[in-house]
Structure 1
Amino acid sequence: MQTVQSQTIAEGMKGKDFLTIDELTSEEIHHLLDEAAQLKKLQKQGVPHEELKGKVLGMIFEKSSTRTRISFEVAMLQLGGHALFLSSKDIQLGRGETIEDTANVLAGYLDGVMIRTFGHETIERFASASSVPVINGLTDSHHPAQILADLLTIMEHKGQLSGLKAAYFGDGNNVAHSLIEGAAKVGMHFTIACPPDYEPDEAIVAKAKEVAKETGAIIQITDDPKAAASNADVLITDVWASMGQEEEQAEREGVFAPYQINEELCINADENYIFMHCLPAHRGEEVTAEIIDGPHSVIYQEAENRLHAQKALLKLLLKS
């Protein structure tokens, strides 16, 4: 049974966009995670929960995907709705038609739109013009849906978020940005270990540090991977070259080699640490096979939790 506070939070989220983690309050994040846990429980028990019967989600993909497409599509199916795949090759977004025209047209057909694209300004323009909720499935700057799944996974294993120490190793990319924002919001200490010139966006870090003053989180950036791993409850990494950076692969392998998560690095972490990776992973590059396939790894649970976290998000944003 929902409390008055949770009902108020749920009402406040209806019809909202979800472009970054920073746009959510701490209370909204925890409410989303509680909803996700409940929906996961219902799904495991085989209990129908068609909260979005008759609703249609459009899914625009300018970047290819495995987990994002499947998890959103299955999420809508399990919630009783329908998901419509829209490849950028099949629609006129930003080419023969303005982003604003596409947003307005699709809003007349759909109950919500999920977009996976390159520049974050594309989704911001789309959301500004759309009269239905717009969800960020990934941009070059942010990956908020992934971080909801990450927080859910950490909660399941550690029973809390506030006061934990998480450490991320590698490029200060979109995943790093959303992790910084999420950690700051929930009071989780967070350190990014990255080489010089690959640090996360300064403005995002500065904003997260301001938020952290309210929640008690400590946000740090360092070039020392061992210091970052020291007593960490959660170790996280991502590929060294994201989509669109393939030509930098060889250079990045040399730069990021000291930031590989391996057995030597993990000795510094808490003995009960968990290892996370949003996938796809390159064994032998950002992480060794011994770690990603070892007993501390929770990558497949993390991937599954994309489904449950996104179901909670869709339910709260799209429900009438």
Structure 2
Amino acid sequence: MAVNLKGRHFLTLLDFTPEEIEYLIDLSASLKLKKRAGIRGNALEGKSVALLFEKPSTRTRCAFTVACIDEGGHPEYLGKNDIQLGHKESVKDTARVLGRMFDGIQFRGFKQETVEELARYAGVPVWNGLTDMYHPTQILADFLTIKENFGYLKGIKLVFVGDGRNNMANSMMIGSAKLGLHFAIASPEGLRPSDELVKKCEEFNKVSGGTIEFFEDPKEAVKGAHAIYTDVWASMGEESKLAERIALLKPYQVNKELMAASGRNDTIFLHCLPAVKGNEVTEDVFESPQSKVFDEAENRLHTIKAVMVATIGNV
């Protein structure tokens, strides 16, 4: 089946079929080879993209900027103090203005409703660079990294340890269910995805052959894990809860003992970064040969490039 994503938004992996997600991962791999070979592209020649940031960023901002330039496009960074988004000007009106000037719009911020409203009114593809609910571009980078290490995705056991109701856990669960991974969350019972989202993912699992499991005991969760994933214990905007989260999540720290509990000698460690070493992960795991976090960070570039090329590219 031919895959055509031209003109599509990229707001959540819920909107994409397994074939479309696999297409983006494969396209990312080919664009990575091209980049490594020093080949500049022209898939975005003549295109301009707006990069809207309510939240600060290292990897997302740099990846969108470099990816756009690599393929001949022009990126324009618009921080929260640069435009009137949601303050003097409504999201709806901002979308209609930017949509007439740019070929695509990236949004990184708080509310999923904001990126959805941008998409509703912009008239051009809108890409979710992160919201409080979803982080779909990160999942593409994570899955590309896993595929590079194991050669496949379907049947992989991927375990998320820590705050299991954040945007990473949500998006990872969706991606795993779509592509047939065995996904587990190790967390306190109160920090898990919504029942509604779990039910949706269970329906995807009926087609893909994937599974979802929840554990309070992290050592039980990671048995047989190909990849162990964690994230910061307090997301952006939740810093006031950090002391409470440290007390609650200390048993979920990814350390050498937890990595060994997988029972595999090829288990890899993943983290979307930035990491708070000493909280969710120890320094020795972060710096170990099992850690693939910087491959993962680089893969943000190639997967984000694939999303832009597939949706607005000259192909």
Corresponding residue to 2:138 among 114, 123, 146? 146
In the TM superposition, 1:76-115 aligns within 5 A as 76-115=68-107
Over the matched positions of the two proteins, sequence identity in percent amounts to 46
Q: Report the secondary structure of 1:275's partner residue.
A: strand
Residue 97 of structure 1: how far off its partner (Å)? 1.1
| 1:21-170 → structure 2 map (5 Å cutoff) | 21-170=13-162
1:280 and 2:274 equivalent? yes
Q: What number of residue pairs does the alignment pair up?
A: 312
Match of 1:193 in 2: 186
SS in 1 for 2:229: strand
User: What amino acid does structure 2 have at the position aligned with 1:221?
Assistant: F
- Alpha-carbon separation, structure 1, partners of 2:47 and 2:20: 23
In structure 2, the residue matched to 1:176 is 169
Structure 1 stretches of 4+ with a deviation exceeding 2 A read: none
Q: Deviations over 1:257-306 (max 9, x none)?
A: 01111111111112100100000001110011111110100000000000
Provide the rounded CA distance (Å) in 2 between the counterparts of 1:79 and 1:227: 45
CA offsets 1:87-106 (integer angstroms, 9 cap, x no match): 12111111111111110110
Q: 3-state DSSP class of the match of 2:302? A: helix
Q: Structure 1, unaligned stretches of length 5 or more? A: none
* 1:196 match: secondary structure: coil
TM-score of the superposed pair, with normalisation by structure 1? 0.96
Per-residue Cα deviation, 1:69-124 (whole angstroms, up to 9, x for no partner): 00100000001101100012111111111111110110000000000010111111
Give the distance between the partners of 1:98 and 1:14, measured in 2 at CA: 27
Query: Pairwise mapping of residues 169-318 of structure 1 onto structure 2 (< 5 A)?
Result: 169-171=161-163, 172-269=165-262, 270-318=264-312
Tell me, in whole angstroms, the C-alpha distance in 1 between the residues paired with 2:39 and 2:81: 38
How many angstroms does 1:319 deviate by? 1.7
CA RMSD of aligned residues (A): 0.8
Q: Please tell me the residue identity of whatever aligns with 1:214.
A: V
Structure 2 CA distance, aligned partners of 1:112 and 1:226?
44
Distance 1:48 1:319 in 2: 14
Query: 2: distance between equivalents of 1:258 and 1:207?
Result: 29
Residue 196 of structure 1 and its aligned partner are, at CA, apart by 2.1
Looking at structure 2, the residues matched to 294 and 302 of structure 1 have their Cα atoms a distance apart, in angstroms, of 15
The CA deviation string for residues 125-179 of structure 1, in whole angstroms up to 9 with x for no partner, is: 1111110000000000000000000000000000000011010001120011000
How many Å separate the matches in 2 of 1:258 and 1:15?
45
Give TM-score, length-normalised by structure 2.
Answer: 0.98
- d(CA) in 1 for partners of 2:256 and 2:289? 12
Residue type at the aligned position of 2:242: Q
